[in-house]
Amino acid sequence: MASRWAVPAGPEGTRGDLVHALVQRIADLAADAEGEPRRPVPRLVADPALTDQLRVVAADLLAAAPPEPVIATAVADVRAVQATLS
């Protein structure tokens, strides 16, 4: 039986691909807000870890205290991915 993360989610690839791309975008927003260079977020072997990665990068973004438009961008991105996965 295939993992729920391996289910296709459209042209973006699998559900795991879609969530990993979201994790990367949120990590990029956090790096920008902290004035740090952007770094690739590793794709772990166990896709269920994607939810933990998302929690970590979201916490990093909030800790950076970016301006409201950055938070709004992140929230819109999360909602768009959520809608695609629903």
Domain that holds residue 45: 24-85
Q: Is 74 contained in some domain? A: yes
Residue 62's SS3 state is: helix
Which residue bears the tokens 């998302």?
54
Mean pLDDT of all residues in 2-17: 78
What pLDDT does residue 2 have?
53
Q: Is 10 contained in some domain? A: no
Q: What is the pLDDT of residues 27-56, one digit of tens each?
A: 999 999 999 999 999 998 888 889 999 999
Termini Cα distance of the chain: 20
Number of domains in the chain: 1
Q: Is 40 contained in some domain? A: yes
Q: Alpha-carbon distance 81 to 86, whole Å?
A: 9
Which residue bears the tokens 């920008």?
32
Say if CB 43 and CB 77 are below 8 A apart. Answer: no
